Amino acid sequence: MMLEPAPEPTSLTGEIAADLFRRESGRLVAMLLGQFGTHRLQLAEEVVQAALVRALQTWPYRGVPDKPAAWLTQTARNLALDHLRREQRWSDKQAGIAREHPRWMSTPAPRDEHADTFTDDTLRLMFVCFHPQLSTETQTALALRTLCGFSPGEIAAAFLTTEAAIAKRLVRARQRIRELALPFVVPAPDELPARLDGVLGTLYLLFNEGYKASSGNRLVREELCHEAIRLMLQLAAHPATRQPRTHALLALMLLNAARLPARTDEAGNLLRLHEQDRTAWNHAMMSRGVHYLGLASQGDHVSEYHLQAGIAACHCAATDEAETDWSRILALYDQLIQLHPSPVIALNRAVAVARVQGPQAGLDALRALSPRGALEDYHLYHAVQGSIALELGRTADALAAFRRAQSLATLASEREFLARCINDCATPLVTRV
């Protein structure tokens, strides 16, 4: 089934359709898989995407339907049936599909024996995606694409890799599912803990895409952050997944989401931490985050989410930039880099080193990263390098780093922020002080 490219949403109606699609796509895919079988995964994904294309083409002119989710469901079902009718083996299936067709149009897809494990279709299918016979990276990419509505480009940004690599990974995942004939059924409650890490990792990436978008017109997509928190609350409430690392990730999300109202100015431009109005932070949400951080301490294992939540708590506890406990933050990053040695964590640790030990030490920590790999094309690496070089008075180095960062930035708000940084390089130091 060939799809025409989905048009970019250029109006409020288009944004409504795109937001609805991201929220409903997992449920629609789950419904179609229940009706057609797991070997129809690609068909399910394609007809759901095609339903969005139809919405973007028609809603701006005809208006948003009274029940937009039902409209998408009906359209996706019709497209799937149209595709089956074109298949060579249609005649063998026609009688069975004809009998089932009225039921599909009036009742939800049949649920398996563990369907009531969670009340949310997306969360249930997320656990389905993390089948032990698929690799972790494949599972995560599949869940982000199928259930969270991420584009291959957004997934590539999350993994610091190329869109082509993600596209290949998704193709291999679908092939593997067909080869193994994996049953897309909700695992039994006693099987949930073994799949929990993958689900947590996926929701972490979903939240991060909302906290700092990798594409589109907005730097912050609060709806993604709140969707991740909504699903995390279900995990935190279920006996099989109510574990310390679940509480730690939920605490991290709540503490970071509490700062969302102050992350951008009225024009949507990025505000750095020291530029934010801390009175605009959501203190009720911060209190909930601290509550879940306390629940996370009720275990012997310390996960990366515990450490990141601790760092977020340090920022939330400071009434201004000067009161930030950077020594504590650096100590947490030292533990985190041992537990999870990722390039992005190493980059964030270098910022903490600069705050505690001085800008030269921070620059040395950056150079020790050897960014010839993933970070070489990561704009924030060069932006941090420029900021530290500017502190050291190395204007030419800072200017080169900021220009490199600007050439790699994908969002207009990021490029605008870096343009301001470039202008700062032309301002005499005595003026900036």
CATH code where residue 147 lies: 1.10.10
**CA 214, chain centre distance (Å):** 9
| Confidence at 111, pLDDT banded by 50, 70, 90 | very low
Q: Are residues 247 and 290 in the same domain?
A: yes
Q: With contact defined as beta carbons under 8 Å apart, do 14 and 8 qualify?
A: yes
Q: Is it the case that residue 320 has pLDDT exceeding 80?
A: yes
Structural domain boundaries enclosing 164: 121-183
| Within-domain flag for 342 | no
- Average pLDDT (251-264) is 94
pLDDT-derived band at 297, boundaries 50, 70, 90: very high
Confidence of residue 8 (pLDDT cuts 50, 70, 90): very low
Residues 198 and 311 in one domain: yes
Going from the C-alpha of 20 to that of each of 10, 37, 187, 227, 328, the distances in angstroms are 15, 25, 27, 12, 41
Q: In angstroms, rounded to a whole number, what is the distance separating the alpha carbons of residues 201 and 210?
A: 15
The reported pLDDT for the residue numbered 89 is: 53
> What CATH number does the domain containing 389 carry?
1.25.40
Note whether residue 347 is domain-resident: no
Q: In sequence order, which ranges of 318-371 are alpha helices (DSSP H)? A: 326-339, 343-357, 359-367
How many angstroms separate the CA atoms of 401 and 115, rounded? 52
- Residue 231 is assigned to a structural domain of this protein: yes
Q: What angle do CA 372, 373, 379 make, to 5 degrees?
A: 85
Same domain for 318 and 416? no
Whether residue 153 lies inside any domain: the answer is yes
The residue from 142, 163, 183 where one domain ends is: 183
* Residues 225 and 305 placed together within one structural domain of the fold: yes
The encoded tokens of residue 121 equal 């279709």
Please check whether residue 263 is in contact with residue 270, taking contact to mean a CB–CB distance below 8 angstroms. yes
Q: Are residues 318 and 223 in the same domain?
A: yes
> Is 331 among the domain residues?
no
Confidence of residue 385 (pLDDT cuts 50, 70, 90): very high
Residue whose pair of structure tokens reads 């270098």 in the numeric block: 350
Same domain (yes/no): 202, 175: no
Distance, in Å, from the CA atom of 158 to the CA atom of 213, rounded to the nearest integer, reads 10
Are residues 37 and 53 located together in one domain of the fold?
Answer: yes
More confident residue, 88 or 379: 379
Please report the pLDDT score of residue 102 as a whole number: 46
pTM: 0.78
Last residue of a domain, one of 76, 108, 140: 108
Last residue of a domain, one of 108, 139, 156: 108
Assess whether 165 and 199 both reside in one domain. Answer: no
Structure confidence by residue, pLDDT tens digits, 178-194:
777 766 667 788 888 88
Whether 374 shows a pLDDT value over 80: the answer reads no
Q: Are 289 and 313 in contact (CB under 8 A)?
A: yes
Judged by average pLDDT, the poorest of 54-63, 179-188, 291-300 is 179-188
Task: Give the start-end residues of each E strand in 261-345.
Answer: none
In a domain, 416, yes or no: yes
Does a structural domain hold residue 413?
yes
The confidence score (pLDDT) of residue 261 equals 92
Task: Name which of 217-226, 337-346, 388-397, 421-430 the model is least confident about.
Answer: 421-430
> Same structural domain for residues 288 and 385?
no
Residue 343 falls inside a structural domain: no
Tell me how crowded residue 374 is: count the other CB atoms within 10 A of its CB: 14
Cα–Cα distance measured from residue 75 to residue 58, given in angstroms and rounded to the nearest whole number: 12
Task: Return the ∠ at Cα 116 (arms to 67 and 128), rounded to 5°.
Answer: 90
Distance CA 124, CA 189 (A): 11
pLDDT of residue 87: 64
Query: What is the tally of structural domains in the chain?
Result: 4
Question: What is the mean pLDDT of the segment spanning 254-278?
Answer: 89
Give residue 113's pLDDT: 45
- Say whether both 236 and 311 belong to one domain: yes
Residue 42 sits in the same domain as residue 151:
no
Identify the band that residue 26 occupies on the pLDDT scale cut at 50, 70 and 90. Answer: confident
| Of 196, 227, 397, the residue nearest 303 (C-alpha) | 196
> H or E element: which one contains 139?
helix 136-146
Does 303 share its domain with 426? no
